[in-house]
Structure 1
Amino acid sequence: MTFVQLIDCRTSRFDEMDRLMDTWVEQTKGKRTATHAVVGKDRSDASHFIEIVEFPSFEEAMRNSNLPETGKVFQELVALCDEMPTFTDLDVVRDERLCAATARRLFETVAAPGELAPLDGLLAQDYHDHDPANVQDTIGMDAMRREVEMWRGGFDVTFTVEDQISEDDRVCTRWTFEGTHHGEFMGLAPTGREVTMTGTTVFRFDDDGRIAEGWWQYDRLGLMAQLGALDALEN
């Protein structure tokens, strides 16, 4: 279930607070779990600010709070406030906004360097994946995690989201994949080649806002050609 936290504070040093938050965003790049954040200033009180932060779930919010960088920044943020800020925790019971941000975050999570982050805030446990390159569909979050690890093991992954269209419980994302072939992939030894691939993915979301099903279309033949896998056939 989507979770929202309201942070209510008063400060006469907002410019310093704004720079502090920019620093925190940079320090936690690839690790923070918030999907959307808005800061508003009270029109009748220039020292009164409210930040609205959205997470895929309460558990993801707690994971975000437990980041070492978050604890450090919180103490510095409190020091910039005129009084102790207040926090309101909300479970979202109705959301008219569709799930494009969650789809985008999945691509960001897959491409983030280091150990693959947990996917439970993004994918349903019984997630069902349709990939025409696989003989059988991938079913279950753990199985999908292994699929993602296979790609990450072969490439330094970067995804660029080119376009998104949302309707009801579906989000269609057009993306570009770029990477360096640094590990074994589909039986091919590392080549060190830089590769690019385009594709489109349609995700279906469940009632909890998690991705329940996915359909992938991408230029795998073009990818294999860039890796030299088709050279023998051409000769």
Structure 2
Amino acid sequence: MTFVQIIDCKTSRVEDLNRLMDRWVEQTKGKRTATHSIVGKDRSDASHVVEIVEFPSYDVAMRNSQLPETDRIFREMVALCDEMPTFTDLDVVRDEQMYKAASRRFFELVSMPGELPPLDEVFAEGYHDHDPSNPTDAVGMDAVRREAEMWRSAFDFTFTVDDQIADGDRVCTRWTWNGTHVGDFMGIQPTGMEVSMTGMVVHRFREDGKAVEGWWQYDMLGLMGQLGAVEG
């Protein structure tokens, strides 16, 4: 679960605090585990400064706090503040940007040439896939990989993400798929044809940013028409 720490302090030495943060970044290069950090100044009180630091998880944040450089920078930060800073620790329970990035990453992974990369980067182990073109849903990582490999053995393809909309724990991605028919596909022998189709998928995510369910809609009839399997 993504973890965020908010550091709230009062200081008349904002520029010195900024330089201190720059030094912390430089001294912990290659060791610092924070994935994102911003510093904001209160518009109504220039001495009120808030730093927001994001980590992949609480445990990772604790490893970062144990770095000797972090401890030294913290003591210097306290010396720059007019009073003791306060810390607020937050477990992130909703991050729509993270969900959108994970959905986009799936399309990158499944399109990669060569061996199919692990999908557990973006999918939970019990991921449940709803695809109207399949008689049964694909449930679990093994079933999802078999489904992906079926498409990958039949086509060399790429996805273009045309649009994404996030709402709560769900992301809708509108995409365009372009492929070359290089292998057997539902009994249709390879034709070498360049084909394309459009579609959408809605992914539902859990708090750690991994998808647990997906619902697909795409123009399978149009694809079969391009392959000559049905009349246009």
TM-score category, normalised to shorter length = 0.5 to 0.7
- The aligned amino acid for 2:25 is D
Structure 2 residues without counterparts, runs of 5 or longer = 5-23, 28-34, 40-52, 60-68, 71-89
User: Any runs of at least 4 consecutive aligned residues in structure 1 with deviations exceeding 4 A, and if so which?
Assistant: 37-41, 52-56
Describe the superposition over 1:70-106 as per-residue Cα deviations: whole angstroms up to 9, x where unpaired: xxxxxxxxxxxxxxx99xxxxx831643110000000
- Taking the TM superposition and a 5 Å limit, the aligned residue runs for 1:19-168 are 93-94=91-92, 96-98=94-96, 99-168=99-168
Other-structure match for 1:9: 26
State the alpha-carbon separation in 2 of the partners of residues 174 and 207 from structure 1: 23
State the alpha-carbon separation in 2 of the partners of residues 193 and 105 from structure 1: 27
State the alpha-carbon separation in 1 of the partners of residues 118 and 191 from structure 2: 29
Other-structure match for 1:196: 196
Other-structure match for 2:171: 171
TM-score between both structures, scaled by the size of structure 2: 0.63
The verdict on how the C-alpha distance between 1:146 and 1:168 changes in structure 2, with shifts beyond 3 A counting, is same
Describe the superposition over 1:196-230 as per-residue Cα deviations: whole angstroms up to 9, x where unpaired: 10001000012322110000000000000111111
Residue 124 of structure 1: how far off its partner (Å): 1.0
**DSSP 3-state at the match of 2:185:** coil
Residue 130 of structure 1: how far off its partner (Å): 0.6
State the alpha-carbon separation in 1 of the partners of residues 55 and 113 from structure 2: 23
Structure 1 residues without counterparts, runs of 5 or longer = 11-36, 42-51, 59-84, 87-91
**DSSP 3-state at the match of 2:217:** strand
CA contact (8 A) 2:111 2:158 kept: yes
- The aligned amino acid for 1:8 is V
- Higher Cα radius of gyration: 2
**DSSP 3-state at the match of 1:121:** coil
The verdict on how the C-alpha distance between 1:191 and 1:38 changes in structure 2, with shifts beyond 3 A counting, is farther
Residue 2 of structure 1: how far off its partner (Å): 4.5
Give me the CA root mean square deviation: 3.7
- The aligned amino acid for 2:163 is D
State the alpha-carbon separation in 2 of the partners of residues 113 and 194 from structure 1: 17
**DSSP 3-state at the match of 1:8:** helix
State the alpha-carbon separation in 2 of the partners of residues 38 and 108 from structure 1: 23
CA contact (8 A) 2:92 2:207 kept: no
Other-structure match for 2:229: 229
- The aligned amino acid for 2:92 is R
The verdict on how the C-alpha distance between 1:190 and 1:206 changes in structure 2, with shifts beyond 3 A counting, is same
Describe the superposition over 1:148-169 as per-residue Cα deviations: whole angstroms up to 9, x where unpaired: 0100111111000000000110
Residue 131 of structure 1: how far off its partner (Å): 0.5
Other-structure match for 2:208: 208
- The aligned amino acid for 2:214 is G
State the alpha-carbon separation in 2 of the partners of residues 173 and 113 from structure 1: 22
State the alpha-carbon separation in 2 of the partners of residues 227 and 121 from structure 1: 33
